[in-house]
Structure 1
Amino acid sequence: MSPEPSATRLRASDLSDHSDEVEGPLCGYHHETYAFSLSAEAGADKKGRWKIREPREELLWFDRRCFTSEYELLYQLRRRIDVIPEVAPVGGVDLQRFVEGVTLGERYPSGEAVSGEVVEQILKLFRQLIAVTSDTLPVERKCDPEDRADEGDSAGFLERLIRFTQKRVYGQNLPEYEDLFTDLGLGLNSFEYLRKHVDGLTSRPFCLLHADLHRENFILDSAGKVWAIDWELAMLGDPLYDLATHLHLMRYPVQQEREIIRRWCVIAEDVRKGSSKGWIEDLPRLLDYKKAQSVFTDVIRETQSLVGTEGFAHRRLREASSKVRDVLWAAAEPLGLASRPSLLEIEAALLRWGDREPEPAQP
């Protein structure tokens, strides 16, 4: 028997021209998304397909969030950043235009160079992002004022990111993952090593960051235009962090990465003087933070992929272990790992985790 449609799916059907032509759920970890054409009653003036996108329930969140509403942010930005697909309220629901095209990852897989035309558009996006500052962005923020770094305090900004990873990703998952973290050489001392490793960031003026610009969050349409989607992780902070996150996720070939760094620095200084200050020393530090952050998020995600309704997925054990090994080895220095566990040692640790006794339910 087919499962009951979700509330999001039902809303898409209610707004669509033909409920049996609703496409989805589309790929995405954090959100349940459907694409459809609007009915004449819902939006006679809105041609093409639109998408409804709502958070999935009971998911682990691995990244800090800055703004209370992603859609409120997008409404404010639509005249300032020209690669955001149109957003509109329809039938009491916020919708976004569905861009017909392919993700950048489909056209240029991870590790491959992207075309010069795409590079130009990505750099233009960075130019527009750096021009958006907190005093020109009247959008409600969800973090408490005391939990925000002062303007230009790049070191304080990074410390808050480390604190989030330590408390919300590592700490909150410790009851379930403590033995596995220990087997992999990870503990509270890992964060102390990390803090020392990234200490001493130069101050840079803050701006808007997308904070998740990877190949699957860029859509290339039939005219060759690049659109940027999924702005839920956007925040205000150190512009160099946005570049570091982009480089970490995009996996450019070395030569293209160097070109983008060089040109980003020119653009950053042209928009707001001091935005690239200290980049030679600080970009490696920020990249090392991203590597360290990936360890905790990827360990949890990979172990979750091994368990399901049919039990432990032994067929995926080698693949999951390889991914954990890669991120663990990449972050060995910033996390102060005494040794790098082998693939077989990681497999054994994951098997022990899979065989653990479940925690008793709390009364």
Structure 2
Amino acid sequence: MSPEPSATRRRASDLSDHSNAVEGPLRGYHHETYAFFLSAEAGADFKGRWKIREPREGPLWFDRRCFKSEYELLYQLQRRIDVIPEVAPVGGVDLQRFVEGVTLGERYPSGEAVPRAVFEQILELFRQLIAVTSSDTLLVKRKCKAADRAEAGDSKGFLERLILFTQERVYDRNLPRYKGLFADLGLGPNSFEYLRKRVEGLKDRPFCLLHADLHRENFILDSEGKVWAIDWELAMLGDPLYDLATHLHLMQYPVQQEREIIQRWCAIAEEVREGSSQGWDEDLPRLLAYKKAQSLFTDVIRETQSLVVMGRFDRRRLRVASWKVWDVLWAAAEPLGLTSPPSLLEIEAALLRWGREDAAART
């Protein structure tokens, strides 16, 4: 007996020209997404395929969210940023045009250089982002409380709120389930105090809109070579250099291309808004240190989730998960003050011990 279709799948079927032509769910951790052609009744004037994208129930969220509604933000940004696929209300549901193409990661995997044409389009997106300020997003409702936001231009306060979010919402909130594993990996409350000392001293820069998740799977390359940027749910207002740091951390450019994009980004940032690249040479390593530390906590939890299949610990995935944890642990060792990170075999043993303890706690 087939499982009952989800509410999102039913909405897609209701809007599509034929329910069997609905593609999905498409790949994605936090959202359930389907692509389809609209029926004549739903949208005769909307050509091509469109997608419906709604949050899944249950997934853990590891990143701050600034705006209450991604679609509300996109409606405002369509006039300012030209690489956002069109959004439109159809039949009482917000839809976005589905870009027919491939992700940048499918064509050019992590670690590879991207072609010059793609490189230039990414830089142009940064130009447009830096030009968008809080005054351009005033009509978009904010998710976070005013007290939880740094004053405009307070880069130190902005980063402290990101660290605090990681500490409280990722580490503290998951501590009941992961205390033993965190300890085995050398992680504890002191890790955050060490991180704060490692990143202190940021220069202030004028705030702008940040995408905050510009990686290869969030860039779509269409058949004409145009690059589109998707998944704006983590967009926020903040230090422009943080957007560059996040991009570099996620893209893993070859060294020469990374150097070039930093140089070009700094020039563009100063053209758009003076002071936007101030202190970049000292502050970019600090922001990258935070991104490495943040990734460690989130990736450890994600890898443990990959080990639990149908409620049971799957030892066949243990070695792959251990390698991934080893990678992020060694990357974050310096920012978190880990002088002797555990070896691969020690990580594997720690994950196995966590699996047994977690299974016992659930029975």
Shorter-chain TM-score tier: over 0.9
Q: Distance in 1 between matches of 2:334 and 2:86?
A: 43
Indicate conservation of the 8 Å contact 1:185/1:338, yes or no: no
1:63 aligns with 2:63: yes
- Deviation (angstroms), 1:212: 0.2
Quote the offset at 1:310 in angstroms.
6.0
Per-residue Cα deviation, 1:236-266 (whole angstroms, up to 9, x for no partner)? 0000000000000000000000000000000
One-letter amino acid of the counterpart of residue 95, structure 1: L
Q: Hey, what's the Cα distance between the residues in 1 that align with 2:97 and 2:83?
A: 12
Alignment of 1:133-282 (within 5 A): 133-138=133-138, 139-282=140-283
Indicate whether 1:291 and 2:275 are aligned: no
CA offsets 1:136-181 (integer angstroms, 9 cap, x no match): 2221111111110001000000000000000000010000000000
Give per-residue Cα distances to partners, 1:38-74, cap 9 Å, x unaligned: 0000000001000000000011000000001000000
Q: Which residue of 2 aligns with 1:306?
A: 307
1:69 maps to a residue whose letter is: S
Residue-by-residue CA offset, 1:108-144 (whole Å, 9 max, x unaligned): 0110000000011000000000000002222111111
User: Would you say the 8 A contact 1:154–1:204 is kept in 2?
Assistant: yes
Q: 2:40 matched to 1:46?
A: no
**Residue 54 of structure 2: SS of its match in structure 1?**
strand
Contact 1:113 1:256 in 2 (8 A): yes
Partner of 1:316: 317
Deviations 1:285-330 (A, max 9, x none): 0001000000000000000000021621111111000000000001
CA distance in 2, matches of 1:310, 1:287: 35
CA contact (8 A) 2:52 2:96 kept: yes
Matches of 1:357 and 1:322, distance apart in 2: 21
The equivalent residue for 2:81 is 81
Q: Read off the aligned partner of 1:269 and give its amino acid letter.
A: E
Which shows bigger deviation, 127-136 or 308-317? 308-317
TM-aligned CA deviation for residue 359 of structure 1: 7.4
Q: Secondary structure at the match of 2:79?
A: coil
What TM-score does the superposition give when structure 1 sets the normalisation length? 0.98
1:260 is paired with a residue of what secondary structure?
Answer: helix
Deviates more, 1:335-344 or 1:243-252: 335-344
Alpha-carbon distance in 1 for matches of 2:103, 2:276 = 29
d(CA) in 2 for partners of 1:198 and 1:55?
33
Match of 1:202, SS state, is coil
8 A contact 2:177–2:358 mirrored in 1:
no
Map 1:339-350 → 2, pairs under 5 A? 339-350=340-351
- Output the CA distance in 1 between the equivalents of 2:305 and 2:44: 43
- 1:203 & 1:216 partners in 2: Cα distance? 31
State the alpha-carbon separation in 2 of the partners of residues 119 and 190 from structure 1: 36
Q: Distance in 2 between matches of 1:135 and 1:101?
A: 34
> Whole-Å Cα distance in 2 between the matches of residues 346 and 182 of structure 1?
11
Match of 1:102 in 2: 102
The amino acid of 2:130's aligned partner reads I
- Structure 2 residue ranges without an equivalent (≥5): none
Whole-Å separation in 1 of the counterparts to 2:150 and 2:28: 30
Q: Aligned-pair distance for 1:360?
A: 6.0
State the alpha-carbon separation in 1 of the partners of residues 141 and 81 from structure 2.
19
Q: Deviations 1:57-104 (Å, cap 9, x if unpaired)?
A: 011000000001000000000010000000000000000000000000
Equivalent residue for 2:28? Answer: 28
Structure with more of its chain in helix, by fraction: 2
SS in structure 1 opposite 2:357?
coil
Question: Helix, strand or coil for the counterpart of 2:333?
Answer: coil
Q: What is the match of residue 11 of structure 2?
A: 11
Q: Counterpart of 2:350 in structure 1: which amino acid?
A: A
Q: Tell me if structure 1 keeps the 8 A contact 2:312–2:359.
A: no
Deviation by residue 1:12-55 (Cα, 9 ceiling, x = unmatched):
00000010010000000110000000000000000100000000
Question: Which residue of structure 2 lines up, in the alignment, with residue 123 of structure 1?
Answer: 123
Identify the range of structure 1 (163-172 vs 334-343) with the bigger mean alpha-carbon deviation.
334-343
Q: Could you tell me whether the CA contact under 8 Å between 1:104 and 1:216 is conserved in 2?
A: yes
- CA, structure 1 residues 354+360, in 2 after alignment: closer, same or farther (shift >3 Å)? closer
Gaps of 5+ in 1: none
Write the distance in 1 (CA, Å) between the matches of 2:29 and 2:361.
28
Change (3 A) 1:342 1:360: closer
CA distance in 2: counterparts of 1:136 and 1:44, whole angstroms: 32
